[in-house]
């Protein structure tokens, strides 16, 4: 393996590790409550509180912003940076006053987008879903 190949491999591993650690955990937090809410029933106060903490008070958009900075420094390709920026923007656009069905569907959709980014950048031998 050439020095260039070795450097690229290390960069890929760093990017995969950062994505797995941060984006995966942000995705988990985003849909921890949202995925399990039954919108056909009124939200209980405790579940509404969990949803609010998960989506609006956990500073997940900030985590994604920091992740983008770290990934840029690690040489991540433009597509993953764009995907993460898109997820961060969608998350930042949500408001606690939004209709709960919008909050729930957006949280779940953003979580899935983040998981797709994590899977797409796993090392080849771990790339299966």
Partner 1 sequence: MSALPEPDSLAPTRPWVLVIEDGVEYVEFARAFLGHAFEFRYAVSLADALAVLEHSRSACHAFFVDLRFERAPLDALLGDVDAIASELFGGDTARARRWVKDQQGALILGALRERGYPQRAVFVHDFPRQRLANLARLHGDVRAVPRFDARAIEAALRGEST
Residues in contact with partner 1 by CB under 8 A are 21, 24-25, 27-29, 31-33, 35-36, 46-47, 50, 111, 115, 118-119, 122, 125-128
Nearer to partner 1 by Cβ, of 78 and 116: the residue is 116
Output the smallest distance, CB 95 to partner 1, in A: 23
Output the smallest distance, CB 90 to partner 1, in A: 18
Output the smallest distance, CB 94 to partner 1, in A: 18
Query: For residues 103 and 34, is the Cβ–Cβ distance under 8 A?
Result: yes
What does the block give as tokens for 119? 């899977």
Nearer to partner 1 by Cβ, of 32 and 90: the residue is 32
Nearer to partner 1 by Cβ, of 51 and 78: the residue is 51
Output the smallest distance, CB 124 to partner 1, in A: 11
Closest by CA to 55, choosing from 104, 114, 21, is 104
Q: Sign of the C-alpha dihedral, residues 77, 80, 81, 83?
A: positive
Nearer to partner 1 by Cβ, of 37 and 68: the residue is 37
């Amino acid at each position: 393996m050439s020095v260039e190949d070795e450097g690229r491999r290390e960069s890929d591993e760093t990017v995969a590790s950062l994505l797995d650690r941060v984006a995966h955990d942000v995705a988990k937090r985003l849909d921890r409550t949202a995925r399990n809410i039954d919108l056909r029933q009124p939200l209980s106060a405790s579940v509404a509180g969990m949803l609010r903490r998960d989506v609006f008070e956990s500073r997940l958009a900030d985590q994604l912003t920091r992740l983008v900075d770290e990934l840029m420094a690690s040489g991540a390709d433009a597509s993953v940076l764009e995907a993460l920026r898109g997820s961060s923007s969608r998350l930042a656009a949500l408001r606690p006053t939004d209709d709960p069905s919008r909050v729930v569907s957006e949280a779940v959709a953003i979580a899935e987008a983040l998981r797709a980014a994590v899977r797409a950048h796993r090392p080849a031998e771990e790339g299966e879903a």
